[in-house]
Structure 1
Amino acid sequence: MKKEPKYVAFSTQKGGAGKTTLTVLVASYLHYVKGYNVAVIDCDFPQHSIADLRERDFKMVDDDEYYKGMAYEQITRLDGKKFYPVVESSTEEALNDAEALCEEEEYDFIFFDLPGTLNNKDLVVALANMDYIIAPIAADRFVLESTLNYLIAVRDTIVNPGKSNIKGMHLLWNLVDGREKSDLYEVYEAVIKDLSFPVMKTFVPNSLRFRKEQSISHKALFRSTIFPADKALVKGSNIDALTDELLEILK
């Protein structure tokens, strides 16, 4: 029997919370560093940011001998392992596209980049079929209130009525200023605790490194769908610790 992949979404209704970047970073780390088989379904219409990033990644590899050599070295080192698929999709077709992928190959995890508004029936159906939802939050009242309201709506309208596959919803502190969280975060976490939403122990700092993609200058890259983040840039980013904690949740 084929194993069933875990469906995971970094999901929130607040733009700029970092869900798309986190999806790429975690998917790439799991696939290229940890050795899992991963796929990404990009349903975030009309941006399709991950599909656009994959297109830029491939074009740079095709046009630049430096990245072409990196790709060859990586494929050789990983014993011919392919780049993970990125499927440009919609909330209506997301689950069908995931099933089609699974008919061709086995996957450990399929990540879905979903839009944020719950007034779309197809989005509600897609969310209900996730195994886990990770909601990025920041120490900003508007971001926090928006995300908590979103999760409360998901819990009350999808999870509690028993209409979903959702096994867990976790909050993730993202865009944290400095290396450690301040007292302000403790105040926010007290509010979150009252709502019974678990918060991941790992937090992700606010850093310009998260924008580093392939470039003609060949500087160390961080955000890519065909390479893992550069080891030197991973240090201090908490992406390695985040991935390890996420694996513990997804088991």
Structure 2
Amino acid sequence: MEKETLFIAFSTQKGGVGKTAFTVLMSSYLHYVQGLKVAIIDCDYPQHSIFEMRQRDMEQVMKDNYYKQMAYQQFTSLKRKAYSVVSSRPENAISKAEEIIEQAQIQPNIIFFDLPGTLNSKGVVKTLGGMDYIFAPVSADRVVLESTLKFASLLNENLVSVGKGNIKGLHLIWNMVDGREKNELYQVYEDIIGELGLNILKTFVPDTKRFRRELTTKHKPVFRSTLFPAHKSLLKGSNIDVLAKEILETIKLQ
């Protein structure tokens, strides 16, 4: 009997903290490197930035022989196609995911959901309640931290703690970590997070410009793409591989 597909969201109500980047990076790493079968429901209406990224990636591959050869080599070595990226409104996201599962020849291990950055958007709370796991990126910036803690506390109090919905775990992730900052600062924040009854993963993701590296005509190593995993030269030191391992352990797929 096949394992049930897990529904996972990197979610927060503070923009620019990395929820969309994590969705793409984790999906590509787990699908193309770790061999898991993944899909994405882009319900970050109306911009649908991941769905548009897939379109850009496809256009770049189709018109550029360098990337076309890369895609061919990847397809033949992995013997698997690119993962699905489907656009949806938040209120329809769960039914879209169920369609993907029903139509798939091989059931996905994980479907990631990229949701709008506000709980006030129609259907967001209901869709979050349908997740198995929620990971909320957070940085040591006070405004970001306060916003994310408020967001996570609301979900914890209204969904997780009272057993509403399917949520098995809600975890924060340190993102945009400045290596020059003292560890004591993060320990203080983690004590506050613990007092609120929230959990945070051990892995720290550094603040680095490599997260913006997409497919370009200059053929530089790519970091963020829906068709390729992060290049090994850029993956080193990014902690994306370490984070992926911790997430798989957390969701019990490791």
- Band the TM-score falls in, shorter-chain normalisation: over 0.9
Corresponding residue number in structure 2 for 1:242: 243
Instruction: State yes or no: 1:89 paired with 2:105.
Output: no
Unmatched tracts of structure 2, length 5 or more: none
Seen in structure 2, the aligned counterparts of structure 1 residues 179 and 250 have a Cα distance that, compared at 3 Å, is farther
Amino acid at match of 1:86: V
Query: TM (normalized to structure 1)?
Result: 0.97
Task: Provide the TM-score with structure 2 as the length reference.
Answer: 0.95
Q: Which amino acid aligns with 1:11?
A: S
For residues 27-176 of structure 1, what are the structure 2 equivalents within 5 Å?
A: 27-79=27-79, 81-105=80-104, 106-120=107-121, 122-176=123-177
Give distance in 1, aligned partners of 2:199 and 2:58.
38
Shift in Å at residue 156 of structure 1? 1.6
Whether the 8 Å CA contact 2:153–2:198 is kept in 1: the answer is no
SS in 2 for 1:204: strand
Identity percentage over the alignment? Answer: 57
C-alpha displacement of 1:181: 5.6
Q: Give the aligned residue type for 2:214.
A: E
Q: Any residues of structure 2 matched to 1:195-214 within 5 Å, and which?
A: 195-214=196-215
Asked if 1 retains the 8 angstrom alpha-carbon contact of 2:40 and 2:111, the reply is yes
Could you report, residue by residue, the CA deviation over 1:24-59 in whole angstroms, capped at 9, with x for unpaired residues? 000000000000000000011122110111010000
Provide the C-alpha distance between the structure 1 equivalents of 2:16 and 2:193, rounded to a whole number of angstroms: 21
Q: Is the alpha carbon distance of 1:26 and 1:179 closer, same or farther for their aligned partners in structure 2, counting shifts above 3 Å?
A: farther
In the alignment, residue 36 of structure 2 is paired with which amino acid?
Y
Query: What is the CA deviation profile of residues 102-158 of structure 1, one whole-angstrom value per residue up to 9, with x for unaligned ones?
Result: 011200000000112222451111010100000000001110110010011111222
Per the alignment, do residues 169 and 181 of structure 1 end up closer, same or farther by CA in structure 2, a change over 3 Å counting? farther
1:161-209 Cα shifts (integer Å, max 9, x gaps):
3211000000100001127763211111111111121110111101011
Contact 1:179 1:205 in 2 (8 A): no
Q: How many residues align?
A: 250
Structure number with the higher strand fraction is: 2
- Give me the whole-angstrom Cα distance separating, in 2, the residues matched to 1:199 and 1:16: 19
User: What residue in structure 1 maps to residue 231 of structure 2?
Assistant: 230
Please state whether the residue corresponding to 2:205 is helix, strand or coil: coil
Give 3-state SS (helix, strand or coil) of 1:116's partner: coil
Offset of residue 160 of structure 1: 2.6
Task: Tell me if the contact between 1:169 and 1:198 (Cα under 8 Å) persists in the aligned partners.
Answer: yes
Per the alignment, residue 18 of structure 1 pairs with 18
- The more displaced of 177-186 and 50-59 is 177-186
| 3-state DSSP of counterpart to 1:136 | strand
- Write out per-residue CA displacement over residues 214-247 of structure 1, whole angstroms, 9 at most, x where no aligned residue: 1000000000000000001000000000000000
Q: CA RMSD in A?
A: 1.2
Task: Map 1:183-194; keep pairs closer than 5 Å.
Answer: 183-194=184-195
- Give ranges in structure 1 of 5+ residues lacking alignment: none
Q: Are the counterparts in 2 of residues 89 and 97 from structure 1 also a CA contact under 8 Å?
A: yes
CA deviations over 1:74-124 (Å, ceiling 9, x no partner): 000002x01000001111110011000001120000000011222245111
Letter of the 2:187 counterpart: E
| 37-46 or 120-129, larger mean C-alpha shift | 120-129
Q: Is contact 2:137–2:172 with CA below 8 Å preserved after alignment?
A: yes
Q: How far apart in 1 are the matches of 2:160 and 2:172?
A: 16
